[in-house]
Chain A
Amino acid sequence: MIFRTAMFVLCAWGIFGVQAHAQIYLEQAKVTVNVDAGEHTNGTLLVHNTSSEKVDIKVYWEDFQYKSPYDGSKNFLPAGTAPNSASQWITFSPQEFSMPAFGQQMISYSVTVPSEIKEGHYGVLFFEKSSSGELNHEAVTLITRVGCLFFVEPNNKIKKAALQDIVLKDKSIDASFVNLGNVVLIPHTTFYIMQDAGLVVLRGECKKLYVPPGASGNVVIPLKQALKQGHYTLVVNADLDEGDVVVKEIGLSVDASGQVIVENSQQ
């Protein structure tokens, strides 16, 4: 619903200049560290102040967990409270600093893995713009923070998943992507539907999922066009990165009325 349409002279309002900048700008949105038990590794992050005013920043750690429907949305939790927290393994410095206008600051971090690592450990390093507002009247304080996600995973990680529970919906075929491994899986899933003669009649990709170990996310394969009567094979490829792929072949048949039937499924 459109409830207001307005015409503006671009330079008069100045809002576009603002949209092009970020007051806190973190070059690395995500750090992935593949480690062995007992390993120690270091790294740096670079944060920028892209505004024309000094910014005070405090740095702190929180845990996070991907949450259902595993579309990337997360729960943020206090450090050390998630079962797969990496908070005890990470140190960083500095924890507070000021950046002058258009300045930048390097943050050093180190990861020290204990003598055993059985699964992926995760967390987020937040950079929060400090507020020093003294409130005398009704006011809402604004807090902005950007986070760098940390994925600390064993070198011998188990990336294993299954596509199961194939269900025909109104205009899609849905499947459950079940994470059977010990790290978060972020499958990039593509599919194609092939006639018996080998001709591909439909192909596409599915929305990314962010599935922690033991959880399952819903893969939706949209049927964007009606299929003619006949027999088809639906091939689903879930690319788990680093060369790992889960492939599922599903037989489909379409009757004279256009009704799709999921015939069978095979690995």
Chain B
Amino acid sequence: MKNKLGVVLGGLFIAFQTAAFSATTLTVSATIPAATGISLTVTPVNSSTGVWGTSSTSATTLPFGTLTYNSANGIYLPSNSFAIDIGSAGGAGTPTVAVTYIEGTNPNGSSVNGGLGTKTTATFATEANTGSTITETLAALGKKRLIDLTGTAGELTNIPAGSWERIYVGVWTGSTTAPADPSNGKPFSNTDIAGTYTGSLTFTAVSL
């Protein structure tokens, strides 16, 4: 009887040892692919009051519309400028976004007056979200004529985590208030040929 009890206890001891020391390691892993995504949110901003209108994530144009004559300055002005918020996140990747401009229809032709790209500007800003506060900082790209956005001139890189880029697009007025309009821009005036001036802004997001 004592021998049987010893065998049982010995078996239980061995079973316990086996259970205690033959641990199996299960590796847990998950891979998130480096993704690329882009979104634009366009908000019209009233040129006179500075009041922001309704934002749109489906806007495909910045419609300046028919400009009105400002007799005090002798130039034509739109009722709105536009703020474009660029969301390039949305995944594990951090793509760079390049903003480039191509001139469309230009009734002025090859005249020194230029087309829409000469008469509109883009101001690049970085928006930082710190809790309930958004701080806006003029980005290194500063303020440029749209016609100057070629190659990497409008490339947005090194955007800090939690921040995003915003571009204000407006018609050139010759403003000297910081950030001043670039001196090589031109206003819409009576020296321009009447007609429709167009162009396109392309936002390209790719990984490095």
Contacts and interface: CB of A to CB of B under 8 A. Distances in A.
Interface of A: 1-10, 13-16, 18-30, 50-51, 53, 64, 67, 71-76, 124, 126, 129, 131-133, 135-149, 208, 210
Contacts of B90: 20-22, 25, 50
B208 A72 contact: yes
Contacts of A133: 60-61
Interface in B167-208: 169, 178-179, 188, 196-208
A47 to B, nearest CB: 10
Contacts of B129: 16
Q: How large is the interface on B (under 10, 10 to 19, 20 to 34, 35 or more residues)?
A: 35 or more
Contacts of B169: 140
A29 B196 contact: no
Interface string B123-161: 001000100111111100000001000011001010000
B47 interface: no
Contacts of B178: 1, 3
B205 A146 contact: yes
Contacts of B84: 142
Contacts of B85: 15, 18-19
A146 B37 CA distance: 6
A14 B35 contact: no
Nearest to A72: B208
A18 B198 contact: no
A9 B132 contact: yes
A208 B39 CA distance: 26
A19 B129 CA distance: 11
Nearest to B83: A15
B45 interface: no
A139 B87 CA distance: 22
Contact of B33 (A1, A13, A28, A138): A28
Contacts of B38: 22-24, 144-146
B208 A208 contact: yes
A8 B166 CA distance: 16
27 contacts: A14-B55, A15-B55, A15-B85, A18-B87, A19-B89, A22-B89, A23-B39, A23-B40, A25-B36, A25-B37, A25-B90, A53-B57, A67-B152, A71-B157, A73-B152, A131-B61, A138-B78, A138-B196, A139-B65, A140-B61, A140-B116, A140-B200, A143-B201, A145-B205, A146-B36, A146-B38, A146-B204
A105 to B, nearest CB: 14
The B contact surface, by secondary structure, is strand
A3 B95 contact: no
Contacts of B62: 139-140, 142
Contacts of B55: 13-15, 18
Interface in B87-105: 87-91, 93, 95-96, 104-105
B11 interface: no
Contacts of B104: 135, 141
Contacts of B87: 18-22
B40 A144 contact: yes
Given A2-B137, A138-B65, A142-B61, 16 more contacts: A5-B134, A8-B134, A9-B132, A22-B91, A23-B58, A29-B34, A29-B36, A51-B39, A71-B157, A72-B96, A73-B155, A124-B206, A138-B78, A138-B198, A140-B199, A143-B200
Q: Which of A13, A29, A129, A148 has the most CB of B within 10 A?
A: A29
Contacts of B42: 142
A185 to B, nearest CB: 13
A5 B206 contact: no
A25 B38 CA distance: 7
Contact of B201 (A7, A67, A136, A142): A142
Nearest to B155: A73
B59 interface: yes
A223 B200 CA distance: 45
B132 A139 contact: no
Nearest to A54: B58
B66 interface: yes
A74 B133 CA distance: 35
B93 A7 contact: no
B134 A6 contact: yes
A16 B137 CA distance: 18
